[in-house]
Amino acid sequence: MIGHKGSPTPLPSVPRGSVVIVVSLAGGPGFVKRVSEMGIGPGSKLRVVKSGGPGPVIVEMTSSVGASGPRMALGLGAASRILVRLIDG
């Protein structure tokens, strides 16, 4: 499984419907600040709504009890710098 065990996987590589946990942000201070202000950082739990194909990667924040949160669209470049591990899907 992509990103399940072993090295972290870039967010766009994860199939739609998967639930992931953010492992790290691979970018400079400006990128880390911008993404952190959106609520995405190490330990964040996300559900992948749209991945692959043209257009942005769309993710939905999820809580530890599985409740859905806000959806966010991330450009492919930004999404590629968010490294995740698959935890469900």
Residue 23, SS3 per DSSP? strand
Residue 54 pLDDT: 86
Q: Do 43 and 35 contact (CB within 8 A), yes or no?
A: no
pTM: 0.86
pLDDT of residue 1: 44
| Domain limits, the chain | 9-88
CATH code of the region 9-88: 2.30.30.90
pLDDT tens for the chain, 89 residues long, are 454 555 799 999 999 999 999 999 999 999 999 999 999 999 999 999 999 888 999 999 987 666 678 999 999 999 999 999 998 64
